[in-house]
Amino acid sequence: MQPPHPLSRRAVLRAGTLLAAGPAAWSLARAQGHFPDKPLTIVVPYPAGASTDLLARSVAPKLTASLGQPVVVENKAGASGNIGAAYVASGPADGTRILVATEPIIVVNPHLFANMGFDPTRDLVPLGNGATTILGLAVHPSVPANTFPEFVAWAKKQGQVFFGTAGAGTPHHVNGIVLGQRTGIEMVHVPYKGSGPMIADLLGGQIKVGISTLSTILPLAREGKLKILGLGEKARVPSAPDIPVIGEFVPGFLMSSWVGFFAPTATPATVVARWNTELMKALHSPDVHRKLDDAGLPVLPANKPEELAAMIRADYPRYGKVIKEAGIRLD
């Protein structure tokens, strides 16, 4: 029997140095050389059923197959997404726990909360963009409006219109206020703890108007349970070509949002690169791409972490300006 191959002097010295530096350095070295060597988690900072949840659960099986480790989805909702995001930001920086985050967590919430529990631009690093969250204006069938102009006329007769969203400070909320300003409607916000409770009240008629993701409201509109009067995109979308965009009536109006993947800032560059490669591969697999497109959650072109970082730098001041002008605060 051959004796075990002896470790080189360099390997022994390196191991000794890592052990002396403590568990954190040892964990980092393992992540750099052997990622992944344990189960992985995608944290969704919203309740089950949200667009982020659909995105995470669509790619998880593909990632499990390509990374060779179980990839599970964990919902950790609360505080407009801040709780789940802080959980990832303060977690292990070895690539085993990543976040699927909506645009508001990264570029809106910092303008609304004095203390989020973390700093998204400092404590999280982009892994890559995932999809566009298309937002739409939906009404209960009892509302006597079948077009966006008819809605504006009806709303003005009401004096004020209460509109529900998935939560305070979301793009749904901010853009609903902007929509009211652009059309002369007094839009009064009704925040819910997630899209599920809001949609339940919209279906039940407790509220008559809601702004939500197309992936949530399109199936209900197809069943005749809601009416979608306009979308917040630049142009009509392939999955719903008969639904106009609000910009056809309010020039330049947009209220779409992106969904991206993030890890703690100290995550090794090699792990960030591996996650980017595998996430883009999963998102652009034909079945996942088709599923998300059909759900009104179109997949963005394959991109690198630095491209998402550039979007964040552009969006951060833009939302800050809108929020300041609208006087929106959450604390």
Secondary structure percentages of the chain, helix, strand, coil, to 5:
50, 20, 35
Question: How far is CA 189 from its chain centroid?
Answer: 21
Q: What is the CATH number of the domain that holds 280?
A: 3.40.190.150
Instruction: Provide mean pLDDT across the span 122-129.
Output: 97
Residue 2 has pLDDT above 90, yes or no: no
Q: Identify the domain containing residue 178 by its residue range.
A: 135-248
31 within a domain of the structure (yes/no): no
- Helix (H) or strand (E) run with residue 327 in it: none
Answering whether pTM is above 0.85, one says no
Predicted confidence (pLDDT) per residue in 234-278, tens digit: 999 888 999 999 999 999 998 878 999 999 999 999 999 999 999
Q: Which residue has the higher pLDDT, 319 or 246?
A: 246
115 and 157 in one domain?
A: no
Predicted confidence (pLDDT) per residue in 268-290, tens digit: 999 999 999 999 999 999 999 99
> Are the CB atoms for 305 and 126 separated by under 8 Å?
yes
219 and 159 in one domain?
A: yes
Count of other CB atoms within 10 angstroms of residue 251: 8
DSSP state of 3: P
Residues 6+ apart with CB under 8 A from 286: none
Three-state DSSP state, 136: strand
Instruction: Provide mean pLDDT across the span 58-69.
Output: 97
d(CA 320, CA 323): 5
Closest by CA position to 45, among listed 235, 194, 237: 194
33 — pLDDT class (breaks 50, 70, 90): low
- CA-to-CA dists, residue 49 to 44, 56, 109, 201, angstroms: 10, 11, 21, 16
6 within a domain of the structure (yes/no): no
Three-state DSSP state, 192: coil
> Are the CB atoms for 117 and 110 separated by under 8 Å?
no
Instruction: Provide mean pLDDT across the span 82-86.
Output: 96
Number of domains in the chain: 2
152 and 96 in one domain?
A: no
The residues pairing with 42 across neighbouring beta strands, listed in sequence order, are 73, 98
Q: What is the CATH number of the domain that holds 182?
A: 3.40.190.10
2 within a domain of the structure (yes/no): no
Three-state DSSP state, 163: strand
315 within a domain of the structure (yes/no): yes
Q: What pLDDT does residue 41 have? A: 98
> Are the CB atoms for 38 and 47 separated by under 8 Å?
no
